[in-house]
Chains A and B, each alone.
Chain A
């Protein structure tokens, strides 16, 4: 009477828990996922090609629109990559301010991740708490550069302007309050039995698989590999900062949650060091009005909230724009771990797996 057949369903692209326009083709046997194919490209804008037709100065605005929840990290990668290509040395104060803003942006990104990930799995309360603090951070970005999401915060050679008056005071006020807020999230989630049931042992990805698939960021660190670009190839002012790389060995969703929370505490520490040790001086290096490149190529990786974000530039002789520009987007590379994580598991775990990878589709499709 009943036929035992596998069924194919689409998850997304309009499904609210796919965080954008990700479509996942799933083949189901009952409730077990037997096969999974992520389908991407709904948000493709051709950012790399556009940037090849724009000058080094203009290209930065497109990086905002790749990973739009962590646009300051993207700006940092672009600015530092171009500076590396031209051999520009940035003043120390600018480096410190860049580091501080990037870390605040990491907090904002992780908060958004925490809020939406918990919401997907069914914990509504955390969403409200996390967005409360994120609001504070977005106000800081607005005060610094005039926009909350598409920041275009940095310039080649430094910053456009110094910090606005009162910025440090407000950032310090946030510092004073933030650790208690992290404790609040922990109260709501860490010991919660429903949260534990939904996350422990779910979407496992061990260290070998992570490395084989090129997965970076918190997913890799939750598998026990202490790889962080901020320590491995220090950029901005990270070489002068004192912080730790939190790792876990369980390699499941719960471990990634703990790693990200620990990372928030470390980011808080870095911001505090930036505020305390903020040097005086100019914020902009002396650079020529028109940047003309030589034949040269650079690859510049930075640690974005999602993982290793790399910018690859090829310059041509006398070129005003990059001959070739490529972005190694962390979400794009991390997404290929999705089939590995969920094949043979239940349909409900797919949502947890997508959430724990922390993908942003603007960055995947570019």
Chain B
């Protein structure tokens, strides 16, 4: 019996059959649009097709403004204190016609941020979020120092919100 098993490669045949099954599935559906849309693909053609991100995705830090266009942050410095890599620097200041303190400077050193969302969690005023931006590479190191001003990146630039959620599929 064992001799027979050695002579006839059942084991290899089993593996080949499985590979053949998947090959057949892809081969026969490759050029038929109807079937292709039904198949679940696990690879995504990323730069052409934008990735789907979960609503809780943790991307770049963004400062929020309220309905009147006022910065929501009131400089309680909770986020600065909790940040494990100490990348947030806030300078307190005053603004005419505003009772609460106002951040004159809000600097964020993105190259050391580890996207942990502790800052968002500690903020009791919901004035920051981590947005859904993940294509953060730049050519210059200075571009990672993000402040309230700045042409390329600044703390207010929103990002596309993830369209995808687990509730949908």
Interface, chain A (partner B; CB < 8 A) = 54, 57-59, 61-62, 125, 131-132, 135, 139-140, 142-147, 150, 152, 160-161, 164-167, 169-170, 184, 187-188, 191-193
Contacts and interface: CB of A to CB of B under 8 A. Distances in A.
Interface of B: 9-12, 14-15, 18-19, 42, 53-58, 82, 84, 114-118, 121, 130, 165-169
Contacts of B11: 191-193
Contacts of A139: 54, 166
B55 A164 contact: yes
Given A58-B118, A164-B56, A188-B15, A143 B166 contact: yes
Nearest to B59: A146
A147 B58 contact: yes
Given A146-B54, A146-B58, A166-B165, A125 B15 contact: yes
Given A132-B42, A146-B58, A164-B56, A152 B116 contact: yes
Smallest CB-CB A-B distances: 6 pairs: A166-B167, A166-B166, A191-B11, A146-B56, A146-B58, A58-B84
A145 B115 CA distance: 11
Contact of A184 (B9, B18, B57): B18
Contacts of B82: 57-58
A166 B54 CA distance: 11
B77 to A, nearest CB: 15
A135 B43 CA distance: 9
Contacts of B15: 125, 187-188, 192
B14 A187 contact: yes
Contact of A143 (B54, B116, B117, B130): B54
Given A147-B58, A150-B114, A164 B18 contact: no
Given A146-B56, A147-B58, A166-B168, 5 more contacts: A54-B84, A62-B84, A125-B15, A144-B56, A187-B15
A146 B84 contact: no
B46 to A, nearest CB: 13
Give the secondary structure class of B's interface. loop
Give the secondary structure class of A's interface. helix
Contacts of A54: 84
A341 B121 CA distance: 48
A147 B166 contact: no
A192 to B, nearest CB: 5
A58 B118 CA distance: 8
A361 B169 CA distance: 36
Contacts of B169: 166, 170
A165 B169 CA distance: 11
Nearest to A141: B54
A167 B18 contact: no
B56 A187 contact: no
Contact of A170 (B53, B116, B130, B166): B166
Contacts of B14: 187, 191
30 contacts: A54-B84, A58-B82, A58-B84, A59-B84, A61-B114, A61-B116, A62-B84, A125-B19, A132-B42, A142-B56, A142-B57, A143-B54, A144-B56, A146-B56, A146-B117, A147-B57, A147-B115, A150-B114, A150-B115, A150-B116, A152-B117, A160-B121, A164-B54, A164-B55, A164-B165, A165-B165, A166-B166, A169-B166, A187-B15, A193-B9
